[in-house]
């Protein structure tokens, strides 16, 4: 088809670097497939703590969970890179 853009295939690290540099990643991401839903059950007290904290920082519970999980993944990757040196 004429005019149809093909997605560039980039590794996760290449995509993250491009994003961090402020470059347009729209041509590299299929946004319809970029999200996978997961369900996680938490005890009521954990949900309350999440809600209290998310209210304090002014973001939604979901955004807080995503941010914390992302931060933890990055921290764990950093630990592995330091251990490999």
Answer yes or no: is 1 within a domain: no
Question: How far is residue 75's CA from residue 78's CA, in Å, rounded to a whole number?
Answer: 5
CA of 69: how far to CAs of 22, 54, 75, 85, in Å?
Answer: 22, 14, 10, 25
- Which tens digit of pLDDT belongs to each residue from 22-47? 888 777 777 677 778 899 999 999 99
Higher per-residue confidence, 7 vs 47: 47
Same domain assignment for residues 28 and 53:
no
**Do both 17 and 44 map to the same domain?**
no
| Mean pLDDT of all residues belonging to the chain | 83
> Quick one: pLDDT at residue 27?
78
**Cβ atoms of 64 and 57 closer than 8 Å:** yes
Residue 23 pLDDT: 82
| Domain match, 45 and 23 both | no
Contact by Cβ (8 Å): 7, 30: yes
Say yes or no to pLDDT of 6 above 60.
Answer: no
């Amino acid at each position: 088809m004429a005019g149809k853009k093909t997605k560039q295939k980039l590794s996760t690290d290449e995509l993250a670097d491009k994003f961090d540099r402020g470059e347009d990643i729209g041509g590299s991401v299929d946004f319809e497939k970029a999200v996978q839903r997961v369900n996680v059950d938490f005890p009521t007290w954990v949900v309350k703590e999440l809600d209290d904290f998310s209210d304090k920082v002014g973001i939604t519970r979901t955004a807080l969970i995503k941010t914390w999980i992302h931060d933890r993944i990055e921290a764990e990757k950093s630990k592995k890179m330091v251990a490999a040196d």
